[in-house]
Amino acid sequence: MHIDVSVRQGVVRGQQSGGVATFLGVPYAAPPMGPLRLRPPQPVRPWEGVRPVLDAGPSAPQRALDSFAGLDAFAVTGARWRRGDDYLTLNVWAPVDAAARPVVVYVHGGGLVLGTKDAAVYDGTAFARDGVVAVAMNYRLGVEGFVPIPGAPTNLGLRDVIAALRWLQDNVAAFGGDAGNVTVVGESGGAMLVACLVSSPLSVGLFRRAVVQSGHGSAVYPVSIAERTTMALARALSVTPDAEGFRSVPPERAVQALHKVSRPGTLDLRDANGFDPSFGLGVVNPVHGDDVLPVHPLLALERGAGADVDLLIGTTATEASYWFGPTRLSWLPTGISRRLLRRIAPRADELFDAYAEQATSRAERRGGAVLARVLTDMAFRWPARQFAAAHQGRTHVYEFDWASPAAGGRMGAAHGLELPFVFDTLTSTTGRRGMTGMSAPQELADYVHGTWVRFVTDGHLSWPTFDSQTRAVHQLAARTTISEPVMPAAAYTPVVAPMTV
């Protein structure tokens, strides 16, 4: 059955079933192509008549994954790039006849280079079933969204997310949502963006709560370092390193060039101290020093930015097992593992030894297994705790500690594994090639999804807030709150130097 809703630009037509109204591919900004390519997001032109929003529509230019190490990646990545210009759109799932309901807005992951709002795992039906208006959005990725190009605004992908949140302030009431009760949620690259939004002066008043899943505010570059990617791309494309040069090539070529320069060992994005906040996991990140992020996000938090935002932040227990378990990188010899770490972190041998000393079995002493634990903490768990400690508002920390039996039991509590539990979409990741294996626990999905529903509804959580002394971390599978010790990564993570105002 069709259902019509009037937004400020016109009437959109979705469909309803089982008490949930679904609207797919609703435009929140004009297509960022042609004269609008590499420019700030622009308003949608009003339309006449009824605009059907029954199909998800295009996704941002990208080189998406079909599978990863034999596991089905479609559920999380949304399969291949769906071409088309009009991709700055969002999906809405709402309870039928809703009014003033809480709103959850999801910013998808994918390392800021791939992904889409339309991945099966992000289906918002369960949130709508439980009384929440759920939204998922696309934004510009890769070269179009995050590479700093002279002559073009920086952080265009972040500007897209801000534009979507502003559009929702004007229009979400039409779908039954409360514009004063918005929670923005992100995972992985999307979580990095949400963390940046918490600290950004441009997002003040656009949301009341934030959930940062396997992300933090430390994976940002000063423009001077990020421009190394710009220069490498310009060389690969044989264009001038400016907006005119990049506009002269089609998005397909830019995507291919980014894939080329992203190969391990191609770019050195370490700072003067030998530190790369991405730890070799990517070459594209937000930049600070502009109007979106005037200073490093941790400095902004320490100065009080985002203090009025309730924050839920956390990670999985073994983040890097996503890359190391299914691929058997955990079997890497110690010598190779040490050399790899030296390419991305200072004092690499000391850092490696600190984690090797924690090994309690022969398997844990393998070089790749040690490297996986280092990357789990250095790239995810410790900077998430740093962000929690710097945030001056109400802050809770969780850890997703359920280990998947997939990949012969090597998947562990891997990066992204909490997503089907948060959205209550376990069927999308269940099966012989699914990330959660053959029989993931529905009762855990009920608990995790219910926890997120309560938080986005009124900010309620059942465990104590986090501070640097008590260090309360709630383990979701164990349903236990621990006082987490400071991890070895703390001694090897650069402190963001204070800056004068």
Contacts of 167 (CB under 8 A, 6+ apart): 28, 29, 90
Is residue 322 within 8 A of residue 416, CB to CB? The reply is yes
Is residue 31 within 8 A of residue 86, CB to CB? The reply is yes
The residue from 188, 199, 218, 330 that is catalytic is 188
Token readout for 291 is: 């109007």
Count of beta carbons in the 10 Å neighbourhood of residue 341: 23
Contacts of 208 (CB under 8 A, 6+ apart): 180, 181, 182, 183, 309, 310, 459
Token readout for 259 is: 């894939």
Token readout for 328 is: 């058997």
319 is an active site residue: yes
Please, is 327 exposed, middle or buried when counting C-beta atoms within 10 Å of its C-beta (0-12, 13-18, 19+)?
A: middle
Is residue 88 within 8 A of residue 22, CB to CB? The reply is no
The Cα 190–Cα 298 span in angstroms is: 17
Count of beta carbons in the 10 Å neighbourhood of residue 450: 12
**Residue where the block lists tokens 């770490």:** 341
The residue from 415, 418, 428, 449 that is catalytic is 415
Count of beta carbons in the 10 Å neighbourhood of residue 47: 12
Count of beta carbons in the 10 Å neighbourhood of residue 431: 15
262 is an active site residue: no
Q: Is 65 left (phi over 0), alpha (psi -120 to 50) or beta?
A: beta
Write the DSSP assignment of 451-469 as a string of letters: HHHHHHHH---SSPPP-TT
**Residue where the block lists tokens 């227990």:** 317
The Cα 423–Cα 125 span in angstroms is: 8
Per DSSP, helices labelled H in 172-293 are 189-199, 223-237, 243-247, 251-261
The residue from 319, 321, 391, 418 that is catalytic is 319
460 is an active site residue: no
DSSP 8-state class, residue 30: -
Nearest to 12 by CA among 1, 23, 21: 23
Within 13 Å, how many C-alpha atoms sit on residue 479's CB side? Answer: 8
CA distances to 240, 285, 371 from 414, rounded to whole Å, are 40, 22, 15
Angle between helices 251-261 and 223-237 (to 10 degrees): 110
186, amino acid identity: G
* Residues recognised as catalytic: 188, 319, 415
